[in-house]
Amino acid sequence: MNKRLTPLQKSIYDRHIEAKLTDTFDDCQASNSDELRALLIEGKALRPIIEELETRYVTITSQLYSNVFGHVSEAYKKQIKQGFRILLNSLEIQ
């Protein structure tokens, strides 16, 4: 598995981080992995994705700073990036 994000993966990650900081998530849903893949490639930022990745990959401390104080730390970004790498590779988004 590639340890670095591809340019497409990086743009999806960046869009979600921007949406997290500005609370500008898109209002759309996917009922299966093909729809999810299509939405992510289109550049949509989905709140359930970032929430699930937070739960799975981000430490409680980083989650508290992010969700309570609105501060997205470098540790948070690094941990979320790892989650995006795993998710996007599993969806075969290269």
Distance CA 92, CA 86 (A): 10
- 94: in domain: no
Q: Is it the case that residue 62 has pLDDT exceeding 90?
A: yes
CA 54 to chain CA centroid, nearest Å? 8
The residues near 43 (Cβ < 8 Å, ≥ 6 apart) are: 11, 12, 15
Q: How confident is the model at residue 2 (pLDDT cuts 50, 70, 90)?
A: low
- 1: in domain: no
Residue with tokens 């093909």: 34
Looking at every residue in the chain, the average pLDDT score rounds to: 94
Range 43-48 average pLDDT: 96
DSSP per position, 21-47 = HHT-------SSHHHHHHHHHHT---H
Residue with tokens 């992995």: 33
Residue with tokens 């994705």: 49
**What's the pTM value of the predicted model, to 2 decimals?**
0.92
Domain count, the chain: 1
- pLDDT confidence of residue 3: 78
- 78: in domain: yes
Q: How confident is the model at residue 1 (pLDDT cuts 50, 70, 90)?
A: low
Q: Is it the case that residue 25 has pLDDT exceeding 90?
A: yes
- 66: in domain: yes
Whole domain around residue 68: which residue ranges? 7-88
- 48: in domain: yes
Range 29-47 average pLDDT: 96
- 39: in domain: yes
